[in-house]
Chain A
Amino acid sequence: MGKYIGKEFSRVDGVAKVTGAAPYAAEFHVPGTAHGYLVMSRIAKGTITKIDTAAAEKSPGVVRVFTHKNTPKFAHPEKYKSFKALQSPEIVFNAQPIAVVVAETFEEARAAANLVEATYRREDPSTDFFGRVEEAEQAPDSPFSGKSVQTTGDAEQAMSSAEITFEAEYTIPAEHHNPMEPHAAVAYWKNGKLKIFDKSQDVYTVRSNLAAALGVPEDDVHVVSPYVGGAFGCSIRTNYYPFLTAMMARELKRPVKLVYTRRQMFTGHGYRPFTHQKIQLGAKKTGELISIIHEAANNTSTVEKWNDSTTRFTRHIYACPNMKTIQRLVKTDLPTPCAMRAPGAVSGMFALESALDELSYKLDMDPLELRLKNYAEVDPANGKPYSTKALRECYRRGAEKFGWDKRQPIPRSMREGNELIGYGMSTGIWYAFQQPATVKVVLKADGTAQLTSATSDIGPGTYTVMTIIAAEYLGIAPEKISFGLGDTQMPKAPVQGGSWTTASVGSAVHGAAMKLKSRLLSLAQKDKDSPLQGLGPDEVVLLDGRLQNRKQTSNGVSIVGILKAEGMDSMTEVHKETPSKIREDYQLLAHGAQFVEVRVDEQLGMVRVSRAVEATACGKIMNPKTSHSQEMGGVVWGIGMALTEHTEVDDRFGRIMNPSLADYHVPCCADVRKVDTDFIEEDDRVVNPLGVKGMGELGMVGIPAAISNAVYHATGKRIRHLPMTPDKVLKA
C-alpha cells in the first residue's frame, strides 16, 4: 500500500454530484437555445412516402421541422457506419427518428411533434431472432476478440470419443443499459466552429465523427462531457443525436438542445443483443474436460454487423486441449446492438458456466471441484503464461466466506418454510487491457497540480482514482490536485470502456509524474550543495511536497523550492503512455469466483438472491471503496440479467413493448440483500506500471450463471432461458 494508493477514498466529485453542482449534458444553459423533440416512426420496415409537417410548422413556438427532405446529407458516411437519422426515407427499425421539431420551448416542440404526419409504404418486419437462428451467417472478425471461428486441437474428434458428453442450448433476450441520465446534446456554432456538450464515453471519437460528417476540420469541433450519469457502453459509439443536434444548430444559426426521452433511449442507441448459444462438453469420467464446442449467434441490424463476441473467453478459461468457438449473426429489423457492460463475456459465461454446472451433476462431482480439476496453469489456447492469476485463491476465499462446504449436493434438499434454498457458483473473467493515453500535468509553484486527459468518468470513480495516483507519484496531497476530463481540448485518452481506464490513463499519470520527477531532480542538482547530488531518478521519490532521497528521506528539497529557485510559476509535462511490448509474451486476464445463495418461493416461483460472495483478482486495488462499489454494481447487474431484465419486442410490428423503467425491470434496492465483495490482490509487474487490471465489467460476468446454477440446486429445475421470471420457474 502506498501513501494514498490502496486507501479508502470517497469520490472527489461526490459532493458536486449530490448537490447538483456537477452539470450533465442537458444542463449546460446556452442563451437563445432552441429545443428539439424527436418524432419516431411507427413502422419497423419500409419507406416514408409522404411526410406532412404543415400543421407542426404552424404550431406555437415552432422554429423549424427537420425531416429527411430538408436535412443536409452528412459527409463521409464511410468513415463511421453507424445509423444516422433523417438521411433517407427508408425505415430500418421501429421508433426510428423521422423528424425533429425545433421550437422555442421543450413543451412547444413536444406538442408540435405530435402533429407531424407520416405515410409509409410498409413492409413486414422480421425481428423474431430466436425463430431465425437457423439462418445465422458467420460473423465478421472482431478487433477485440479476433476471428469468429477459432479452434484449438480437434474438438469434434475429441467430442466423439469422450466418455461423458453434455450438450444444451441457452438463450438471452435483448437488454437495455438504462442509465439514469438520458442522452442529450447542446450544440452551437461560432465563427464556423462547433461546440457541443454531449453525454459521451469518448469525446475524441465524437469529435472526429462530427468533423467528418459536417465537413469541418477536427480542430474546429470542441466536445465537452465532464459528467456522465451512467452509460455502461451506450455512449461508446457516437449515437445519432449529436450529429442531428450539431446539424440543426448550424442550419438554424442558434444553439439547439436535444434530449432523449426514456422511451427514445430504447432505440436511440444499441443494446445487448438477443443471443442463442449451444454448448457441447466432452469430459473424462474423472472430470477432465477434453473438448468444448461453443456456438453462439447474436442479432444485428440490417445496416451494420455487430459481433457481440459471445465466445470471447471460452478458450482461455479451462485447461482443455480441444476447443472450437463460432460466432454467427442474424439480421433483424432492429437497431444495431452495442457494447453493454461485460459485452459477450457475461452472455458467453452464462452458457459455459451453466453447462459446466450441468456436467458436474452428470459426473456427480462438486461444481467447484470440477472447475479446480480443469484449472488452467497456462492459457489453453495459446500456451502463454498468465502474467498473474490468483483465481485458485479466489475460489478458496470465496468458498470459505460463503460457506460452500455446507452445500447439500442433491438439488431440492435445502429448505426453510415455503422457500427452497440453493447454492450456485461460477467463474468470472475479463481482460487486462491497456490503450495508449496522454496526460498533461501542470505542477504549480503554489504547491498544487492540475492534470487533464480527455477520458470520461461514467461512474466508476475516474476523477477520484486519477487524483489518488497523481497524489501518490507527485507527492502532493489529494486536496491540492485537480483532475479534468471529458473535453477535446485536453490530451487524447481512449474511450472509457473495456475496463481499461485506470490501466491506460492511470499509467499515463504515473509516467508523467516520473518524467516530472527526473526534471525536478536535474533542476535540484544544479545546486552544488543539494542533498540529492549524485542520485539517479530511481533513487529519489516525490513525497509530502518534497523531492527526497528514497533511502534517507530527511535528505530532500521542496518541490515549490525547486520551482521558485528557477523562477518558474509552473512546470508542464505532457506524457503519452503506450502498452509495453512485454505484454505480448503473456496472457493478460483478470478473474473472479462468484458464490450465490437463492431462495425460491415454491408457490410463487419467485427467486430472491439472498446472498452473494464475490472474490476478485484484478491486480492492484487502487481505491478499495470505489472498487467494492464496482463489484457490488456488477452483482446487481447480474441479478437484473438473471431475473428481470428483458426488452420485449412485439414481432408483428417490430416494436419494443416495454420502453420505460416501469416495465423494463432493473433490480431495486430491496432486491439486493447481502453482497460481500473481496479482492485477492495480485502483484503484476507485466500488465502496466501500476499493476492494475480491468474490474468494472468483471464483477457481473459470472453472476447470471451462478444464480441459474443456484436456482437449479434449489428447485431441481434448469432454466436455460433468461430472465428466470416467476412464470418460467413455476412452469419448469
Chain B
Amino acid sequence: MRAYVPDFDITVPDRLDDALKMLAEKPGFYRPLAGGTDLMVVFNAGHQIYKNFLSLHKFQELHGIHVTDEEVEIRALATYTDLRYHPILKAEFPMLCQAAAESGAGAIQNRGTIGGNIGNGSPAADTPPALAAYGAEIDLISKDGVRSLPFRNFQTGYKQMDLRPEELIRGVRLKRKSGRLHSYRKVGTRKAQAISKVCFAATVRLESGKIVEAGIAYGSVAPTVGCCEKLEQKLVGLSLAEASKLDPMEVKKLAGESISPIDDIRSSGEYRLKVAKNLAADFVSNLENLNV
C-alpha cells in the first residue's frame, strides 16, 4: 500500500491518563508514535499497516533522564541527543552514549528516542545490547499501573516483545554501581548512517579486584539481543589478569553459543559469527587495558 496521507489519522492527547484509557478501550487500534524515525520509513515505503497513530509527545511523564543515588531512569522519549551528552550517563553508562553517538546522524539523533528503539523490536537496534549488558530494568505503563521486568526478558522473538497492546514503554532503569569497565563496538559498512552488521556491548564490574558482575550482549546476530550468559558466568569470580588469560578459543566458543547470525543484504552469517567471536575474545583478552 503506497502511503496516501488522508488515509492516516493521528491523535495527540494532552494527558497520559487519557491515552492509556484509549489504548485499553481499543487494544491494538492505536500505534504509539514517538520520533517517527522508524514508523515514517515504513510509511514512506508504502508498507505501513497501522492507520491510527497516537502521539506521545505531550506526556511529560515520558520525557527526561532522572538520576537518584541508586538509579538512572531514562524515560522513553529521551532522544539520542539527550543520551549522548548526559554527564552521568557519560561517566557511568558510556556504552549508551556511544550507541547514541553512532546511531544515524544528527537529524535522527535529535528525533529518534530510546523508547522507539526498543519498541520497534528490531534485532539490529543499537541501544538494546547496551541495555542488556548493563542489566537494565524496563518499565511498562498501562491504565492499571506500572509493570517492571528485566530488559533481557522483554524481547521474546524476532520483532516480538512482552508488551501488551494497552501498554506503553515508560522507560528503563539502570543501577548505579561503581567499578564498571565497558566496551561497545558497532560494526557497520561505514562510520555513520549504517545499520549494524554486528553490535557488541560488554561490561564487567569489579569489587576487591574480582569480577562480580558481567554483561555481554550482541545486536544483529540473533532474532533478539544475544546475551552471552555462559561467558558472563565464566568471567564472574576471576581477576582481570586471570580473565585476560582465558583461552581465546574457549571465549569464542562460549560467545558463539548464544547467537545465530543469518545472511542478509548487509552481511553474511559467516562474517557476523566470526566477527562476533573476535570481538568477545578481544574484549576478554584486553580487560586489563580497559579504563575503569
Contacts and interface: CB of A to CB of B under 8 A. Distances in A.
Interface hub of A605, A644, A726, A730 (most chain B Cβ within 10 A) = A726
A582 interface: no
Contacts of A152: none
B275 A114 contact: no
Given A603-B282, A604-B278, A605-B271, A665 B190 contact: yes
Given A670-B192, A731-B271, A648 B279 contact: no
Contacts of A658: 265
Interface in A629-687: 644, 648, 657-658, 662-663, 665, 667-671
B271 A418 contact: no
A730 B275 contact: yes
Contacts of B271: 605, 726-727, 730-731
A722 to B, nearest CB: 14
Interface stretch (A105-113, A189-197, A220-228, A525-533): A105-113
Given A668-B192, A671-B191, A725-B189, A114 B278 contact: no
Given A107-B5, A604-B275, A662-B195, A644 B190 contact: yes
A648 B263 CA distance: 14
A418 B271 CA distance: 18
B190 A668 contact: yes
Nearest to B272: A727
Contacts of B266: 663
Nearest to B105: A668
A606 interface: yes
Nearest to A670: B191
Nearest to B278: A603
A657 B265 contact: yes
Interface in A86-122: 107-108, 110-111, 113-114
Contacts, number: 70
B242 to A, nearest CB: 22
B275 A667 contact: no
Interface string A690-732: 0000000000000000000000000000000000011100110
Contacts of A644: 189-190
Given A665-B194, A668-B105, A603 B2 contact: no
B4 A111 contact: yes
Chain B contact residues, majority secondary structure: loop
Given A418-B282, A657-B265, A670-B190, A603 B4 contact: no
Given A604-B278, A662-B195, A668-B105, A110 B2 contact: yes
B190 A726 contact: no
Nearest to A111: B4
Interface in B40-71: 46
Contact of B275 (A603, A648, A668): A603
Contacts of B91: none
B11 interface: no
Nearest to A667: B190
Contacts of A731: 270-271
Nearest to B1: A114
B4 A668 contact: no
Nearest to B266: A663
Interface hub of A113, A603, A663, A725 (most chain B Cβ within 10 A) = A603
A111 B3 CA distance: 6
A727 B267 contact: yes
Contacts of A114: 1-2, 46
Contacts of B275: 603-605, 726, 730
A31 to B, nearest CB: 23
Given A114-B1, A603-B275, A665 B189 contact: yes
Interface hub of B105, B189, B266 (most chain A Cβ within 10 A) = B189
Contacts of A604: 187, 275, 278-279
Contacts of B1: 114
Contacts of B268: 727
B116 to A, nearest CB: 17
Contacts of B270: 727, 731
A120 to B, nearest CB: 20
Nearest to B277: A603
B192 A113 contact: no
Contact of A111 (B2, B191, B195, B267): B2
Those 7 A-B pairs whose CB atoms lie nearest each other, nearest first: A111-B4, A670-B191, A603-B278, A114-B2, A727-B271, A670-B192, A668-B192
30 contacts: A107-B4, A107-B5, A108-B4, A110-B4, A111-B2, A113-B2, A114-B1, A114-B46, A603-B282, A604-B187, A604-B278, A604-B279, A605-B275, A606-B187, A608-B191, A657-B265, A662-B193, A662-B195, A663-B266, A668-B105, A668-B191, A668-B192, A668-B193, A670-B190, A670-B191, A671-B190, A725-B189, A727-B267, A730-B271, A730-B275
Interface of B: 1-7, 46, 105, 187, 189-195, 197, 265-268, 270-271, 274-275, 278-279, 282
